[in-house]
Amino acid sequence: MDKVDTSFLKNQHFINAENYKVEKEYDLAIIEYEKCLVQYPSEDMLLRFIDRVKRLGGRKHDVSYLDKPFNGAVFTPEDYEILSSSFSDANHSFIKNQREKIQNKLLSMLPYILKYCRDNSFDLHPHWNEKYITSLLYPCKYNNFNVNWIGIRLGKTKHEIDQFSLPGNYNSENEYGFQRHGCFQYTLYNESFWVGIFHAIPTNAIDRYYLKQELIKQNFKDELRKLFYSISDKGYYFNIGENSYNLSSSNKNDVIEYYKTHDKDGVYCTIGMKILPNDDRLKKENIISTINKTISELYPLFCKIVKRYY
C-alpha cells in the first residue's frame, strides 16, 4: 500500500493552535488514519475522523455512532458533530451553514406541533419575534460563546411576558424576557435529542420563584406529587444542575424533597427525556409524534409548575 499524503492537514483552518495541542493530535490522527485507510478513503472522511479523534480525547465513553448513518433519521451525523466542543465556539461559514440546516429541520416541525397544541387546547406559543424562535446560531454572551445546542421553545405569549413587566413586577424585558420563563423545548445536542419542560435557567428564573412560593402549601405539594406519579412510567428524568432523578424508578414521595434540596439560583432545572441518535423515535415518520406525545404527557405538570398571566 502506498503511503498516504497527509501534508494537507497542517493547513486546515479548523486546527486552532490556541485551543488544541495541534502536533500531538495531528500525529495521533495520522497514525490512526493510516491504520484505518480502508474505512476512511477520502479527504473529507479523514477530516471528520480527525475531529472525532479530538473529541474522543476528552471523553470517557464511546461516540462511534456518530460515524454511522442513521437510516431514516431527521438528523445526520454531521448535525450532531457541528454541536461538539470542536466547533461550538467557532463561526466559520461552513459551520454556520450546518447550524442553519439544523435550524431549518427544527422549524419544519413547528407548524405540525403548533397545530397539535391548538387541537388539544395546549396553550403554548413560540417566541413572538421570528428571529428568536430558535436559539441563537452564533457564539455570543447570551450562550456563553458556545453553540452546543440548537432548539425551539414553546411557552407563554408576549402578552403574558408584558404582564409580568407591569409595575409591581420585575420590569426589565431584557433581563426577564421569554427565556426567563418556563417552557417546553425540543433541542438537538452533540450526542442526543432532548424534549421536555425547561423550567428554570440559572439566574432570574421566574417560575423557580413561583414554584418555591407554592410549595409552602400542603395541598399544592399533594397535587404535584400526583402529577409526578402520573408520568412515573414514561421514562422522564428530573434534572437539576448535575443531579438527575429518574422518575420511572425513584420513590415519588421524595420528588418534592429532591427539588427543594437541589434547586437554587445558578443551576438549570428540566424535566424531560434524552433520545439517542439511532433511536427509531427520531426517524422522519416518528419525530413529530414523539414531540407531541411528550407535550401531551407533561402538559398537566407544566401547568402546575409554571405561572400563567391572563
274 band by pLDDT with thresholds 50, 70 and 90: very high
Whether the per-residue pLDDT at 136 is higher than 80: the answer is: yes
Residue 78 lies in a domain: no
170, 286: one domain: yes
User: Lowest-confidence range among 127-141, 181-195, 233-247?
Assistant: 127-141
Q: What is the mean pLDDT of residues 126-150?
A: 87
Q: Which structural domain, as residue segments, surrounds residue 234?
A: 93-305
Residue 228 lies in a domain: yes
37, 182: one domain: no
pLDDT of residue 163: 78
What is the 3-class SS of 168-231, one letter each residue?
Answer: CCCCCCCCCCHHHCCEEEEEEECCCEEEEEEEECCCCCHHHHHHHHHCCCHHHHHHHHHHHHHC
176, 270: one domain: yes
C-alpha to C-alpha distance for 39 and 18, rounded to whole angstroms: 30
56, 178: one domain: no
- Number of structural domains (the chain) is 2
User: Lowest-confidence range among 18-32, 220-234, 242-256?
Assistant: 18-32
118, 202: one domain: yes
Residue 202 lies in a domain: yes
163, 292: one domain: yes
- Find the helix packing angle between 22-35 and 43-57, rounded to 10°: 120
Secondary structure class of 138 (helix, strand, coil) = coil
Q: Tell me the per-residue pLDDT of 228-249, one tens digit each, with 9 for 90 and over.
A: 999 988 999 999 999 998 888 7
Residue 82 lies in a domain: no
C-alpha to C-alpha distance for 274 and 191, rounded to whole angstroms: 9
The model's pTM: 0.76
277, 138: one domain: yes
Q: Tell me the per-residue pLDDT of 29-45, one tens digit each, with 9 for 90 and over.
A: 444 444 444 444 455 65
23, 107: one domain: no
Residue 73 lies in a domain: no
C-alpha to C-alpha distance for 101 and 83, rounded to whole angstroms: 12
C-alpha cell recorded at residue 189: 445536542
Instruction: For residue 152, list its beta bridge partners.
Output: 134, 186
Q: CATH number, domain at 277?
A: 3.30.930
C-alpha cell recorded at residue 51: 475531529
Whose CA is closest to 299, among 109, 108, 124? Answer: 124
C-alpha to C-alpha distance for 255 and 252, rounded to whole angstroms: 5
182, 139: one domain: yes
R_g of the chain, CA atoms, integer Å? 22
Place of cell 409552602: 216
Q: Look at phi and psi of residue 71 and say left if phi exceeds 0, alpha if psi is from -120 to 50, else beta.
A: beta
C-alpha cell recorded at residue 181: 420563563
120, 37: one domain: no
Residue 21 lies in a domain: yes
Whether the per-residue pLDDT at 2 is higher than 50: the answer is: no
218, 110: one domain: yes
55, 156: one domain: no
C-alpha to C-alpha distance for 50 and 28, rounded to whole angstroms: 9
